[in-house]
Chains A and B, each alone.
Chain A
Amino acid sequence: EDQVTQSPEALRLQEGESSSLNCSYTVSGLRGLFWYRQDPGKGPEFLFTLYSAGEEKEKERLKATLTKKESFLHITAPKPEDSATYLCAVPTRRGYNKLIFGAGTRLAVHP
């Protein structure tokens, strides 16, 4: 069964304390992996697409990497404004053409 699992569920960091979020997936024929940021009361905001193992994408303090089984979202020297829920998602071909979302990691960065 196609599945996406994110860990940890919640992460508390001090400002400037770097860390990584994990997204592991089991899906036949990966056609991409997406990272989103979701702020309270808002819809998910698209961050990155990764299509092949070894690929990396960067945006400000965020860097996403991809292996054959998982993706990492590295956060370098985070600031309080990086606090949000981070979601990853992969497309599946099972039954219908759709994205499978992980449950997300709630990140809180404290000054």
Chain B
Amino acid sequence: NAGVTQTPKFQVLKTGQSMTLQCAQDMNHNSMYWYRQDPGMGLRLIYYSASEGTTDKGEVPNGYNVSRLNKREFSLRLESAAPSQTSVYFCASSVGDADQPQHFGDGTRLSIL
């Protein structure tokens, strides 16, 4: 049971480089989410997609873009990475709205030097 799969698991970037984080789910969920987790800050929503073809900003969207490629895949792009974007990034999916439980991948640990 794969659930939510994120790639890569680790990445080191230099300031100004770009990168796309990939996420795929095999649970036929409609909604997908991108979070970042920082020490003392908890999980914060970056972007979400309520259904295929739609995306919306979350709490901390600046510096990021997303693409809902199809029902299974939701990618997060950093166009010009900054040290402040060093974090652990989690993708999640759920059947529907936020009143349904979300299921998380194991994260991408991203360091920006």
Contact = CB atoms under 8 A, between A and B. Distances in A.
A87 to B, nearest CB: 7
Nearest to A93: B98
B40 interface: yes
B97 A97 contact: yes
Interface residues of B, number: 25
B42 A98 contact: no
Interface in A4-53: 31-32, 34, 36, 41-46, 49
Interface string A86-111: 01010110001111011110000000
Given A87-B43, A96-B58, A43 B90 contact: yes
Interface residues of A, number: 23
Interface stretch (B13-21, B63-71, B78-86, B104-112): B104-112
Interface of B: 4, 33, 40-43, 45, 48, 50, 56-59, 90, 92, 97-99, 101-107
Interface of A: 31-32, 34, 36, 41-46, 49, 87, 89, 91-92, 96-99, 101-104
